[in-house]
Amino acid sequence: MQTATRHTAPLQFVPREDARRDAAPAPLRTLCSTCHLKDLCLPCGLNGTDIERLDGLKFARRRIKEGQALYHEGEKFQFIYAVRSGTFKSHLTLKDGREQVTGFQMAGELLGLDGLASGQHASSAIALEDAEICAIPYAHLMELASTSTDLQHVISRLMSREIVREHSLMMLLGSMNAEERLAAFLLNISQRMKARGWSASEFHLRMSRAEIGSYLGMKLETVSRTFSAFQHQRLLEVDKKHVRITSLEGLQQAFDMRVQ
């Protein structure tokens, strides 16, 4: 295990040295209402007035380097994190050192909601590439929510979405075979890429075969073999982490075999 993954990134807002050199530092105040991710992220579903109310939210932007942790399992829960750029994995660590990946988070998605239950983070979040996040103080968010029922609804809805997401994952883990699992995974990534304005058919996976395997409940060798099988079936073209879906219908079919 790398030492980097054991170390939590500093809490304060720190534009990295190289960022200072080749670009203007990020503005001190970032507003939800002008954020390019506002249709995916926290403000999603809010009307004009409420989005402006969200602008009252003071939060820090932080850069997280690849391999660094945003938070660790067991750490005190204080912030909800919104991914601005980059990709994260959430995972639990088992007693014997193995990990179960519980999710991958992309731009506009939230991290840390599982910490509310006990006041401690129930999982760890690791950056899979250099990333940037907004750290929203939970207490402050709830304060703001008490002034707007719509904002309360949005927060509840986001948490419910997480529950629904995990339901489908349980279905996947509980009753699908290797090909169905990987097809479901790739179709999910594809949709999320599309929602972010990227190509739905060609993308770069940020996670390793082992991480995909942990997420899907299979060994890395099985993930690799299933990628190869999809290539032979002419559903994909794979070059390491670069994936091109050549037959979306075929993938859908592999997935649709069992799922609604």
Write out the residues near a second copy by the rule CB under 8 A.
92-96, 98, 100, 102, 113-118, 122-123, 142-143, 145-146, 149, 152-153, 155-157, 159-164, 166-171, 173-175, 214-217, 256-260
Does 221 interact with DNA (rule: CB under 7 A)? yes
User: Is 210 an interacting residue with respect to DNA (CB under 7 A)?
Assistant: yes
DSSP run (H or E) holding 212: helix 209-216
Residue 93 beta carbon to DNA: minimum distance, rounded to whole angstroms: 16
Nearest CA among 260, 259, 249, 252 for reference residue 175? 259
Q: How far is CA 250 from CA 43, 108, 229, in A?
A: 35, 29, 13
Name the minimum Å distance from CB 158 to DNA.
30
Contact residue for DNA among 178, 200, 248, 259 (CB under 7 A): 178
Q: Which does 199 bind (CB under 5 to 8 A by kind): DNA, a second copy, none?
A: none
Site for DNA contains 246 (CB under 7 A): no
Interface with DNA, residue 208, by CB under 7 A: yes
Burial class from Cβ neighbours inside 10 Å (0-12, 13-18, 19+) for residue 94 reads exposed
How many residues are given for the chain? 260
Half-sphere exposure of 145 (CA within 13 A, CB side): 15
- Neighbouring residues of 118: CB distance < 8 A, sequence distance ≥ 6: 77
Residue 227 binds what, of a second copy, DNA, none (CB under 5 to 8 Å, by partner type)? Answer: DNA
Applying CB under 7 A, the residues found at the interface with DNA are 177-179, 208-210, 217-225, 227-228, 238, 240-241
